[in-house]
């Protein structure tokens, strides 16, 4: 039987790779910021290095992230439209103002942190914490509000993005802490070495906790979608058995969440800094793959 193609509909990808990278970098600095502020608010002296390491990378990563967002606009000079056309029902509008408030409050927090002013660093830590959560949480809402995209349109999406942000931030800080310890431990007294090891252990345990939470979000989301509408079922099949199955199931969740979490959970493997480094790298790769699959997998099922 001969088939004649009369017209082929081209489905344009409205969200590009630049946005996937932007989501990842925002998650990194938001995660670092939340960890840094949390360490400051806990107030233990041994957590100070964690707070400072996180703060340094917040500055570096935040300075990079707008490049990808503005480049994706094609006409970046029009970004100011978002300031004069505020829509209270749009997460993009709220995100614009959160993105402006976040560096201000976080910058003041970092200033007092490095000045050694405990009281004011805690005060501005409390103030900047909601903006640190919001600066990445809003990206989850942006996708979650897209009713036509089944993979995105889920109540779990904002929390899922926040959990993955914490994973990427902690994994990044753990990598830095491990490298720092490797090249400085010989010159440090035993007491300082033990403090560094406590920090590494703390970061790894927090990382494992959020990876377990992340797997729970994935399982809950896919299970509900599997028994939901026909479109939702097709979307689950796409990430379970289709084009994105290897990336999402194996790279992101098995090797990016489950394997690193198991390395950390068991004390014997957690003592190996090499295995911890591998776990942190796998977690970082897994989070980026998650961003990639969410962005492109969500657009893969055609709307017509």
Residue-wise pLDDT for 243-294, tens only, equals 899 999 999 999 999 999 999 999 999 999 999 999 999 999 999 999 999 9
Q: Which tops the pLDDT comparison, 295 or 304?
A: 295
Is 272 in contact with 122 (CB distance < 8 Å)? no
In a domain, 198, yes or no: yes
Percent of the chain surpassing pLDDT 90 = 64
Do 170 and 293 belong together in one domain?
Answer: yes
In a domain, 238, yes or no: yes
Tell me the C-alpha distance between 186 and 290, whole Å.
38
The Cα-based distances of 58 to 32, 37, 109, 117, 142 in angstroms read 6, 11, 11, 19, 22
Q: What is the pLDDT of residue 230?
A: 81
Do 92 and 211 belong together in one domain?
Answer: no
Please list, in sequence order, all residues whose beta carbon lies within 8 angstroms of the beta carbon of residue 285, skipping any fewer than 6 positions away.
251, 255, 256
Is 37 in contact with 128 (CB distance < 8 Å)? yes
Chosen domain end from 145, 179, 196: 145
Both tokens of residue 259? Answer: 């394997």
Do 216 and 260 belong together in one domain?
Answer: yes
In a domain, 294, yes or no: yes
Model pTM? 0.91
Do 130 and 184 belong together in one domain?
Answer: no
Least confident span in 25-39, 178-192, 239-253: 178-192
**Alpha-helix runs per DSSP H in the chain:** 17-42, 48-72, 81-84, 91-115, 118-144, 157-184, 190-226, 230-240, 245, 259-265, 267-270, 273-292, 298-300
Q: Which tops the pLDDT comparison, 31 or 241?
A: 31
In a domain, 158, yes or no: no
Is 209 in contact with 203 (CB distance < 8 Å)? no
Do 170 and 219 belong together in one domain?
Answer: yes
Residue 6: pLDDT band (50, 70, 90) is low
pLDDT tens-digit readout, 71-87? 888 787 777 888 888 89
Dihedral angle over CA of 246, 250, 251, 252, nearest 10 = 110
In a domain, 156, yes or no: no
Chosen domain end from 115, 145, 175: 145
Chosen domain end from 96, 111, 145: 145
Task: Tell me the torsion sign for CA atoms 280, 281, 284, 290.
Answer: negative
Do 174 and 75 belong together in one domain?
Answer: no
Do 20 and 138 belong together in one domain?
Answer: yes
Please list, in sequence order, all residues whose beta carbon lies within 8 angstroms of the beta carbon of residue 166, skipping any fewer than 6 positions away.
31, 34, 35, 206, 210
Write the CATH number for 58: 1.20.1630.10
Count the domains in the chain: 2
Is 158 in contact with 141 (CB distance < 8 Å)? yes
Q: What is the pLDDT of residue 131?
A: 96
Do 297 and 209 belong together in one domain?
Answer: yes
Q: What is the pLDDT of residue 4?
A: 59
Do 221 and 90 belong together in one domain?
Answer: no
What does the pLDDT average to over 41-48? 85
Residue 174 has pLDDT above 90, yes or no: yes
In a domain, 212, yes or no: yes
Do 227 and 288 belong together in one domain?
Answer: yes
Q: What is the pLDDT of residue 83?
A: 84
Residue 296: pLDDT band (50, 70, 90) is very high
Do 125 and 40 belong together in one domain?
Answer: yes
Q: What is the pLDDT of residue 247?
A: 95
Do 174 and 303 belong together in one domain?
Answer: yes
Residue 197: domain span: 166-304
Region at 203 (left for phi over 0; alpha for psi -120 to 50; beta for the rest)? alpha
In a domain, 207, yes or no: yes
In a domain, 43, yes or no: yes
Dihedral angle over CA of 256, 59, 97, 158, nearest 10 = 10
């Amino acid at each position: 039987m001969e088939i004649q193609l009369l017209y082929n509909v081209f489905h344009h990808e409205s969200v590009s790779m630049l946005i996937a990278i932007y989501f990842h970098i925002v998650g990194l600095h938001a995660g670092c910021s939340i960890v840094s502020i949390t360490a400051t608010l806990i107030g233990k002296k041994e957590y100070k290095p964690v707070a400072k390491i996180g703060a340094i990378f917040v500055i570096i990563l935040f300075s990079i992230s707008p490049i990808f967002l503005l480049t994706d606009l094609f006409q970046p000079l029009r970004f100011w439209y978002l300031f004069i056309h505020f829509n209270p029902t749009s997460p993009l509008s709220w995100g614009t103002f959160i993105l402006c408030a976040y560096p201000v409050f976080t910058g003041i927090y970092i200033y007092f942190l490095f000045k050694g002013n405990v009281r004011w660093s805690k005060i501005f830590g409390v103030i900047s914490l909601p903006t640190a959560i919001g600066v990445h949480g809003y990206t989850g809402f942006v996708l979650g509000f897209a009713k036509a995209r089944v993979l995105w349109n889920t109540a779990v999406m904002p929390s899922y993005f926040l959990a993955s942000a914490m994973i990427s931030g902690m994994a990044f800080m753990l990598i830095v802490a491990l490298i720092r310890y490797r090249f400085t431990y010989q010159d440090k007294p035993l007491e300082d070495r033990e403090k560094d090891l406590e920090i590494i252990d703390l970061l790894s345990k927090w990382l494992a906790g959020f990876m377990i939470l992340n797997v729970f979000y994935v399982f809950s989301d896919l299970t509900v979608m599997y028994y939901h509408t026909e479109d939702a079922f097709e979307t689950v099949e796409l990430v379970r058995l289709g084009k994105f199955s290897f990336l999402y199931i194996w790279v992101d969740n098995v090797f990016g969440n489950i394997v690193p979490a198991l390395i950390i959970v068991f004390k014997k493997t957690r003592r190996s800094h090499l295995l911890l480094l591998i776990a942190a790298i796998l977690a970082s790769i897994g989070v980026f793959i998650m961003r990639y699959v969410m962005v492109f997998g969500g657009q893969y099922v055609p709307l017509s």
